[in-house]
Amino acid sequence: MERRGSGILLHITSLPSSYGIGDLGPGAYGFVNFLSEADQIYWQILPLNRTCTAYGNSPYSSFSAFAGNPLLISPELMVEDGILLKSDIEEHPTFPKERVNYRAVTKYKDKILGIAYERNKEKLTGNYEFERFCSENSYWLNDYGLFVSIKRQFKGVDWSKWPEDLKDRKEGVIKEWEERLREMILMEKYFQYIFFKQWYSLKNYCKSKNLQIIGDVPIYVNYDSSDVWANPEVFKLDEEGRPVFVTGVPPDYFSSTGQLWGHPVYDWNFLKETQYSWWIMRIEYNLRLFDIFRLDHFRGFVSYWKIPVNEKRAINGRWEKSPAKDFFNTLFKHFPHLPIIAEDLGVITPDVKEIMNLFGFPGMRVLIFAFGKNLPTNTNAPHNYVKNTVVYTGTHDNNTIKGWFKKELDHEGRKRLSEYIGHKVSEKTVHWELIRLAMMSVANMVIIPMQDILGLGERARMNLPASSRGNWEWRVTQDQLSSTIAQGLSETTRIYGRV
């Protein structure tokens, strides 16, 4: 992170694949080769956590902060590993190439994963590799396997509506349900075993290509998750086990009324008393998964916006302090090297900057935020960067450069952009103009969304915050990952000393 380099932001779901969604198979290995050909050294992805159509398929909204997403398991690699037969995957629905149809994909993946389990379940007893995986991950896997199995039994209803003794995790009742759902729990553990086996194979391939993976760690977890059900003391819940306050942010760039996220807030007093053991487990886990990771909503570790649970609008919350200095000091005692990128977008107060500077965490700068009336002093403008910074043309929450230029940048903004670059900027060339601005900057790290490298418009946007439809669906096609694009990116990377 202390040397000049660049990379691409592209989530696994957006990769090419014949099975309706990007996965950990041939399309991922092909993309690693593309990155290598383009002289990139970073591949940034979104969270790998299990998604759900009920929560809008968002990787930031999951039943577990630890479990991987079974939808990302590659059918082709399961055939290669002898888990499935080739005939099992030859006939499959015709899926769109450029979007993910999550309902159709979920139905198909559930089917073939079920076949894989039925074909291999008798071999799991005495399987050293599988048993070692279950043992090493028992601290989250046991609760997760039981949680999702019970949810299936109760038709998806959230855990606060389960029978009282089960909701409160009475020891005898838990053992009874573990026995009753033993088969289903084993199946869920098996899916996680396959997922992580495929993930670590891909990570090792990245390493062989001198490529580092940048992961993404959401600060909060869903109320309806195995994390909250199994660790209620970590969160501010009432006597009935329901949140007292929920998360969100006040009005900002993305929303004039703020955003009501709805996760339970942490009980930082309890976390401090327990030396942050829950977070230490989570950080250790993510350090195994990724080379570097982005801590989402970093300012929440310094002070967080808490909204009374009955409020309908985020604007009616208030700030509460977190023990940031003590928290990060404790982390550094456990992990001498913490390769963290602090997501410090939005309104950032001096106390947040103080913590970032104290621990040396690089922050984020987003180019499409730079060209407002305050351009000369705007921290997102290249002339105000420092080396210890990660620059993005835009993030997964923003429009593409072309979409932004066409739909969001007014006449005065376009004028400022042209004056800044030194010549008139057109819709046709604006994506490369901003990519070059990022690449030539003093910032050590530059990350470009794949959509911007391809010069795609608004339809290729990954997510629109505060909206619930059409998000997380965009996919790149194999034809778009051409040698011509790779060579053009390589040339720019070399010119600005990022190889």
Q: What is the CATH number of the domain that holds 417?
A: 3.20.20.80
Domain around 434: 5-68+209-495
Asked whether residue 159 is assigned to any structural domain, the reply reads no
Q: What is the pLDDT of residues 83-92, one digit of tens each?
A: 999 999 999 9
Asked whether residue 89 is assigned to any structural domain, the reply reads no
Burial of 81 (0-12, 13-18, 19+ CB in 10 A): middle
**Predicted pLDDT of residue 466:** 77
Asked whether residue 126 is assigned to any structural domain, the reply reads no
Task: Please give the torsion angle defined by the CA atoms of residues 376, 377, 380 and 383, in that order, rounded to the nearest 10 degrees.
Answer: 60
Assess whether 296 carries a catalytic annotation. Answer: yes
Supply angle C-alpha 178, 226, 261, rounded to 5.
160
Q: What is the total count of domains within the chain?
A: 1
List, in sequence order, every beta strand (DSSP E) within 228-326.
245-249, 259-264, 292-295, 303-308, 318-321
Asked whether residue 13 is assigned to any structural domain, the reply reads yes
CA 72 – CA 133 distance, rounded (Å): 19
**Predicted pLDDT of residue 467:** 83
Q: Comparing C-alpha atoms, which of 397, 375, 371, 369 is closest to residue 249? A: 397
Asked whether residue 35 is assigned to any structural domain, the reply reads yes
Asked whether residue 273 is assigned to any structural domain, the reply reads yes
Instruction: Beginning with the edge strand found earlier in the chain, give each strand of the sheet holding 5-9 in spatial order.
Output: 340-342, 292-295, 212-217, 42-44, 5-9, 445-449, 389-392, 363-366
Percent pLDDT > 90 in the chain is 94
Asked whether residue 41 is assigned to any structural domain, the reply reads yes
Please pick, among 343, 344, 433, 452, the residue that the annotation labels catalytic. 343
Residue 18 near residue 92 (C-beta atoms within 8 A) = yes
Asked whether residue 296 is assigned to any structural domain, the reply reads yes
- Show the low-confidence residues of the chain (pLDDT under 50): none
Please pick, among 39, 224, 227, 296, the residue that the annotation labels catalytic. 296
If phi over 0 gives left and psi between -120 and 50 gives alpha, with beta otherwise, what is residue 82?
left
**Predicted pLDDT of residue 254:** 65
Supply angle C-alpha 120, 121, 125, rounded to 5.
115
Assess whether 343 carries a catalytic annotation. Answer: yes
**Predicted pLDDT of residue 16:** 98
Q: What is the pLDDT of residues 313-362, one digit of tens each?
A: 899 999 999 999 999 999 999 998 999 999 999 888 999 999 999 999 99
